[in-house]
């Protein structure tokens, strides 16, 4: 946990817990996708994780899974009000609501090719540049709300968090999704000084709860 916040603010951005999704739908921004039993256990564990951290600001995606992940932490910081923020919502995706099947077989359908014509943008959804811009603005506002020496917590989603990190580290947006360092309920922390992100750190507080199918097979950058 980051403790040295002198002359800076720390904005922790946590990914939500596991979602109940037995059919493997790409749920994106669709309503009605709640945490699974394991996801609720993850959220409760994170509530304990944050219990003794002197958080000064809470901010959350409007999607149900993010709100349910925030709830145990918010209960332990009852003096803080959760600020809903559409800027930290899941990325827009034209494949939303689809089921891809084993080895993403649906993507080999010729009708899908047009959507995959430009992975640099990407052509199948919200541009990486737009995701980075809205996340950077939300992180900046959270830092201001937290105050100098304060710590904010945002609950968001994997791609927006990963894109914000890539932007902060000056790395290309185009990447292999399997290599994202952003597991369920992981925490990506941004140190903000004078409005600029000066460092990024990463932690996996519930690594022992991660299903084998979601654990990272290799570390980013190796």
Residue 202 domain boundaries: 9-100+129-209
State how many domains the chain has: 1
The answer to the question of residue 217 being in a domain is no
pLDDT at 108: 63
The answer to the question of residue 37 being in a domain is yes
Whether pTM exceeds 0.75: yes
> What CATH number does the domain containing 76 carry?
3.40.50.1240
Taking the C-alpha atoms of residue 8 and residue 10, their distance in angstroms, rounded to an integer, is 7
The answer to the question of residue 216 being in a domain is no
Taking the C-alpha atoms of residue 180 and residue 177, their distance in angstroms, rounded to an integer, is 6
The answer to the question of residue 171 being in a domain is yes
The answer to the question of residue 55 being in a domain is yes
pLDDT at 161: 98
Instruction: Describe the crossing of helices 37-50 and 64-76 by its angle, rounded to 10 degrees.
Output: 40
pLDDT at 176: 83
The answer to the question of residue 141 being in a domain is yes
Going residue by residue through the chain, which has 222 residues, state the pLDDT in tens, using 9 for 90 and above. Answer: 444 567 899 999 999 999 999 888 889 999 999 999 999 999 999 999 999 999 999 999 999 999 999 999 999 999 999 999 999 999 988 777 777 666 666 666 666 655 556 666 776 689 999 999 999 999 999 999 999 999 999 999 999 999 999 999 999 998 888 889 999 999 999 999 999 999 999 999 999 999 986 654 433 322
pLDDT at 118: 66
The H-or-E segment that residue 200 falls in is strand 196-203
State the pairing for strand pair 196-203/187-193.
Answer: antiparallel
The answer to the question of residue 64 being in a domain is yes
The answer to the question of residue 110 being in a domain is no
């Amino acid at each position: 946990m980051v403790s040295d916040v002198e002359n800076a603010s720390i904005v922790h951005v946590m990914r939500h817990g596991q979602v109940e999704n037995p059919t493997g739908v790409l749920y994106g921004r669709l309503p009605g996708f709640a945490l699974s039993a394991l996801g609720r256990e993850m959220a409760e564990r994170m509530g304990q994780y944050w219990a003794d951290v002197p958080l000064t600001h809470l901010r959350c995606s409007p999607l149900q899974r993010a709100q349910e992940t925030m709830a145990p932490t918010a209960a332990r910081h009852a003096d803080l009000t959760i600020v809903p923020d559409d800027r930290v919502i899941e990325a827009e995706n034209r494949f939303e609501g689809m089921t891809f099947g084993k080895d993403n077989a649906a993507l080999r359908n010729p009708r899908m090719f047009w959507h995959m014509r430009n992975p640099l943008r990407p052509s199948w959804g919200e541009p990486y540049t737009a995701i980075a811009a809205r996340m950077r603005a939300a992180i900046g506002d959270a830092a201001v709300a937290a105050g100098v020496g304060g710590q904010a917590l945002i609950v968001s989603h994997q791609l927006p968090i990963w894109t914000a990190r890539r932007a902060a580290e000056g790395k290309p947006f185009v990447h292999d999704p399997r290599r994202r360092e952003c597991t369920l309920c992981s925490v990506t922390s941004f140190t903000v000084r004078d409005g600029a992100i000066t460092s990024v750190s990463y932690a996996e507080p519930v690594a022992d709860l991660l299903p084998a199918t979601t654990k990272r097979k290799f570390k980013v950058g190796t």
